C-alpha cells in the first residue's frame, strides 16, 4: 500500500524533502519528527543505513515495497550494473516522466494525473502509472486538462533534465533517451539499496 499520510512528516522521517512544502518545513525544523529528533546524528547499523536508503528511494517514486522489490529482481536478472538498471526502470515510469517534465508539482500529483486519464502517450490515453515510457514516446496533456492551474504552475518552476524534452507552450513531453544514472535527480545511494535486496 502506498503511503497516504502527511508528506512533511514522512520527509522528516527519511531525512529528505519529498515536496516543496516539506522542504520549507525541514529548513525550519530539521531532523526526524517527534520529541527525540537526533536520529540522523546517531550512529546507525549497516542494516539501518540500507533500510533508510531503500525507503528514500521508494518514497521518491511513491511505490509499494512489493513493486520496488520486483523492479530490483528484474534489474538483477539483467547483465551489467544492477543499480543502473533499477534507476532506469524507475525513472522511465510514466508518473516519474510526468513529474520530471513539470506537468505535476509532486510525484503524488503525477500519479493522480495519470490515474485519472489526463495524460496521453503517443495520442493514446494511458492511466497506468507504472507504464514504461520508451525513448521517442510523446506525452501530451489531454485537451480538456490543459487549462489546469496546477499544471501551468508546475511547468513554470520545473528544473530541466537532459533526457526529457518539454514543449511548455503545447504541453508536449518527449523522452529523448534512457537517462544515465548520475543524471537522475534522486537523493539515494543506489548501491546501498542493491545491498539491502541482495541479501
Cell 520486483 locates to 70
Same domain, 100 and 44: no
Q: What is the pLDDT of residues 92-127, one digit of tens each?
A: 999 999 999 999 999 999 999 999 999 999 999 999
Same domain, 11 and 68: yes
Same domain, 85 and 104: no
Same domain, 114 and 172: yes
Same domain, 97 and 173: yes
* Number of folded domains that form the chain: 2
Same domain, 140 and 191: no
| pLDDT of 198 | 93
Asked if 57 contacts 184 with a C-beta cutoff of 8 angstroms, the reply is no
CATH of the domain at 25: 1.10.1050.10
Same domain, 73 and 55: yes
How far does the chain reach from its first CA to its final CA, in angstroms?
Answer: 23
Domain membership of residue 67 (yes or no) is: yes
Domain membership of residue 2 (yes or no) is: no
Q: What is the pLDDT of residues 7-46, one digit of tens each?
A: 666 666 667 666 555 454 455 555 555 545 555 556 789 9
Same domain, 24 and 72: yes
Same domain, 97 and 172: yes
Task: Read off the DSSP letter of residue 18.
Answer: S
Same domain, 113 and 78: no
Domain membership of residue 1 (yes or no) is: no
CA 156, CA 149: separation in Å to the nearest integer? 11
Same domain, 56 and 12: yes
Phi, psi at residue 121, to the nearest 5°? Answer: -115, 115
Q: To 5 degrees, how large is the angle CA 99–CA 102–CA 108?
A: 35
Domain membership of residue 24 (yes or no) is: yes
Same domain, 168 and 113: yes
| C-alpha cell belonging to residue 94 | 510514466
CATH of the domain at 162: 3.10.290.10
pTM, whole model, 2 decimals? 0.84
Percentage above 90 pLDDT, the chain: 75
Residues of the domain holding 147: 93-177
Amino acid at each position: 500500500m502506498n503511503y497516504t499520510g502527511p508528506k512533511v512528516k514522512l520527509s522528516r522521517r527519511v531525512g529528505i524533502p519529498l515536496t516543496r512544502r516539506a522542504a520549507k518545513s525541514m529548513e525550519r525544523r530539521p531532523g526526524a519528527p517527534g520529541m527525540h529528533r537526533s536520529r540522523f546524528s546517531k550512529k546507525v547499523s549497516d542494516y539501518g543505513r540500507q533500510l533508510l536508503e531503500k525507503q528514500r528511494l521508494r518514497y521518491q517514486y511513491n511505490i509499494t515495497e512489493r513493486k520496488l522489490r520486483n523492479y530490483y529482481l528484474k534489474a538483477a536478472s539483467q547483465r551489467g550494473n544492477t543499480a543502473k538498471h533499477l534507476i532506469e526502470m524507475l525513472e522511465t515510469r510514466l508518473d516519474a516522466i510526468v513529474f520530471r517534465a513539470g506537468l505535476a508539482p509532486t510525484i503524488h500529483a503525477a500519479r493522480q494525473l495519470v490515474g485519472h486519464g489526463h495524460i496521453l502517450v503517443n495520442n493514446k490515453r494511458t492511466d497506468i502509472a507504472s507504464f514504461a515510457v520508451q525513448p521517442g514516446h510523446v506525452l501530451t496533456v489531454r485537451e480538456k486538462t490543459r487549462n489546469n492551474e496546477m499544471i501551468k504552475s508546475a511547468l513554470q518552476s520545473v528544473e530541466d533534465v537532459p533526457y526529457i524534452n518539454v514543449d511548455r507552450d503545447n504541453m508536449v513531453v518527449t523522452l529523448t533517451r534512457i537517462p544515465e544514472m548520475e543524471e537522475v535527480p534522486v537523493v539515494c545511494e543506489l548501491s546501498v539499496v542493491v545491498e539491502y535486496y541482495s541479501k
